[in-house]
Structure 1
Amino acid sequence: MTLKAIIHEAEEGGFWAEVPALPGCFTQGETLQELEENIQEAIAGWLMAAEPEGRPAEGRILEIAV
């Protein structure tokens, strides 16, 4: 699975990111390397929460660029 993350520079330093295909999936990091690790962890956590008791999540997410 490939997902896109939007990376922003934080005003107070460091970075934060959001994954538009996964509503509410946000994270932050002091460096881009830390941010990348945190994004992977946030995505994994989001997907695990979407699949309670090992059942696949209902519905599908479709990313459309306009």
Structure 2
Amino acid sequence: MRYLNYRILLRKEPESGYTTVTVPMLPGCVTYGETIDDAITMAREAIELSIEDLQEKGEDIPTEEGLLEYILTIEAHA
């Protein structure tokens, strides 16, 4: 069995209290949860379904291997 790692981004939605989750390496893989733990569980399921769909279509499965991440801070002039 092969294990794949995916970075997920969680965003708290102020108007609804839900957490939106995106998976940058899997465009279109978006889900949500009422709590952070719920959102993470939903993200795992969404990733598994996305990978399953890619496999059925015979497409490559993108991975985080070799990915470098850096956060830039930019001064915004209003």
TM-score bracket, shorter-length normalisation:
0.7 to 0.9
Please report how far the alpha carbon of residue 58 of structure 1 lies from its aligned counterpart in structure 2 after TM superposition: 3.1
The residue number in structure 2 matching 1:39 is 43
8 A contact 2:6–2:63 mirrored in 1: no
Q: TM-score normalized by structure 2? A: 0.69
In proportion to residue count, which structure has more helix? 1
Query: Equivalent of 2:23, from 19, 23, 26?
Result: 19
* Uncovered stretches (5+) of structure 2, i.e. residues with no partner: 71-78
- Tell me, what secondary structure is at the counterpart of 1:51? helix
Change (3 A) 1:33 1:60: closer
Q: Percent identical across equivalent pairs?
A: 22
Compare CA radii of gyration and give the structure with the larger one.
2
Please report how far the alpha carbon of residue 64 of structure 1 lies from its aligned counterpart in structure 2 after TM superposition: 3.9
